[in-house]
Amino acid sequence: MDFSLIRKRIQNFQYTSTHSFLADVKWILHNSSVYNGGRHNLTLIMKNLLKQLTKEVAEIEICFECYEMSNKKMAKNWFCVPCSKLHTLVSAKLKGFPYWPAKLLRIDKGQADVRFFGEHDRAWVQLNSVYLLTKQNFTLTPSERKLPCADSLLRAIEELNEHIRIIEQLIGKFLYAEPKTPLNAEFDYVQVEKRKDNRKRIIENGSSEEREVNENYDHKKKKPNNEFEQVPSLGDDEEVHSSFLDVLLQRVSKRESIETNHIEKAENTSEIEENVQREDDRPPLFHRYNSLLNEQMTATLKALYDDLNTAYRRREKALKQEFNRVLKNVHLHHQKVIAKLKKEHATEIERLQNNTMESDVE
């Protein structure tokens, strides 16, 4: 196992999970430990590399789309683009700052891992300082507008509003929570679907009034030909739909099929032009979302590999130079030893000859 093989597997999309990628890196560390020893410089470099890669993989597993967009930054407003599985929007408070809009990434050990709108900083915040997003969260008072961070907060609010606007454009109506709603309360985004008889179904886990509307609606008899698509709330019905974006893609695909058939049956040019115009009414970010979902998480790994490979080559070159220097010194030392031995040998022969001549004279 070496970096060239890892690069080949990345280029051929052979890694089906982050764990298999880390397993190959661990094999390189294992081989270096066996061949070079645990305290060798290359082994220490691999240990630091594995530690860094483990952190990167943890970020990917939290949300690979956030990881990809934060590293690529394909658009200026990349943070406004919602992920396929929507992050819960919250208002979180850090010491010395007012409540700030943020995306919830995870909850662990009584703390919320959030990423704030505006500067896109991340922080662990105590759950008692985090509430679900409400309309009243970020209405600045005159005194708050004089704070040093007021301008940054206003930019964060603008980014939040843009994020909500894109959600409503792509998926459906965004439902704000009641004031001071704890983070652990049941809360989902709301999607309203219109039927042909102009009745509505509300998918929601919140108020008892909306729950009663759903129950009354479910008891009504549905006709076989009645085309109605139930939209699951976030986290529900995972076996059928993994995310809201899957539902969106299915709807658009179904809509394209229906409109194509309708265009084929159109009898005049005006109907065709009307249908073509309707096709252009799709959300402007649809194609971009489709592209984001189809891309693989390889660009960052390739860049990381190139950096590591460059560092490895530099280290290898330095080691070769060190080896050549040591070899040259050994060779010079060897020549000096041989010259010294030859000199001592000649001196010894001369001494023996002198002793022999003295013996003959006597």
Write down the pLDDT at residue 148. Answer: 75
At residue 73, the pLDDT reads 65
Could you read off the pLDDT of 170-194 as tens digits, one per residue? 777 777 878 888 877 555 443 333 3
C-alpha–C-alpha distance, residues 308 and 45, integer Å:
10
Judged against a pLDDT cut of 50, whether residue 203 lies above it is answered with: no
200: which strand partners?
194
Placement of tokens 């530690």 in the chain: 51
Band of residue 166 on the pLDDT scale cut at 50, 70, 90: confident
- pLDDT at position 261: 53
Strands (E), 109-197: 111-116, 122-126, 130-132, 191-194
pLDDT at residue 252 greater than cutoff 50 = no
Nearest to 231 by CA among 86, 77, 76: 86
Calculate the average pLDDT of the chain: 71
Sheet strand arrangement including 89-92:
122-126, 111-116, 100-108, 89-92, 130-132
The SS3 of residue 193 is strand
In order of their start, the domains of the chain are: 1-62+298-357 (1.20.920), 81-166 (2.30.30.140)
Whether residue 256 is predicted with pLDDT greater than 70 in this model: the reply is no
Statement: residue 269 has pLDDT above 60: no
The pTM of this model reads 0.47
